């Protein structure tokens, strides 16, 4: 998959907002391309299709870290947030998405 392909899967036309497996793939591709990662934030897709920001999964600001540390932190915190979301019975049917923010080049 390419970054353009992932953008077509995004829940947003203007931001890269992806479900867990695609978000992890995007991080791999962006890091390999040398793109500076600024951070991520959690979004929710409700059963009726609405999108909203997650109050619980606020994400991580990686803008002050060296590139490899930024990507490592993002992978770890996204993985932890996904596991936590899956463990919440009250969130059944609500999908956690990850908005990945990079520095415009």
pLDDT in tens, 75-94: 999 999 999 999 987 888 99
Q: How far apart are CA 80 and CA 34, in angstroms?
A: 24
In order of start, what are the domains of the chain with their CATH numbers?
3-102 (3.30.190.30)
pTM of the model: 0.93
Per-residue model confidence (pLDDT) at position 105: 65
Which residues does the chain have with pLDDT short of 70?
A: 105
Residue count of the chain, please give it.
105
Distances (CA, A) of 26 to 17, 32, 50, 53, 99: 10, 10, 23, 20, 11
Instruction: Report the share of the chain in percent with pLDDT over 70.
Output: 99
Q: What is the pLDDT of residue 101?
A: 95
- Looking at residue 1, its pLDDT comes to 79
């Amino acid at each position: 998959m390419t970054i353009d392909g992932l953008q077509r899967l995004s829940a947003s036309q203007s931001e890269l907002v992806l479900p867990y497996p695609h978000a992890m793939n995007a991080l791999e591709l962006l890091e390999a391309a040398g793109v500076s990662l600024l951070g991520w934030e959690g979004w929710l897709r409700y059963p009726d299709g609405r999108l909203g920001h997650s109050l619980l999964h606020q994400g991580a600001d990686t803008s002050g870290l060296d590139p490899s540390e930024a990507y490592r932190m993002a992978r770890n915190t996204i993985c932890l947030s996904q596991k936590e979301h899956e463990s919440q019975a009250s969130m059944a049917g609500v999908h956690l998405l990850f908005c990945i923010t990079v520095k415009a080049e």
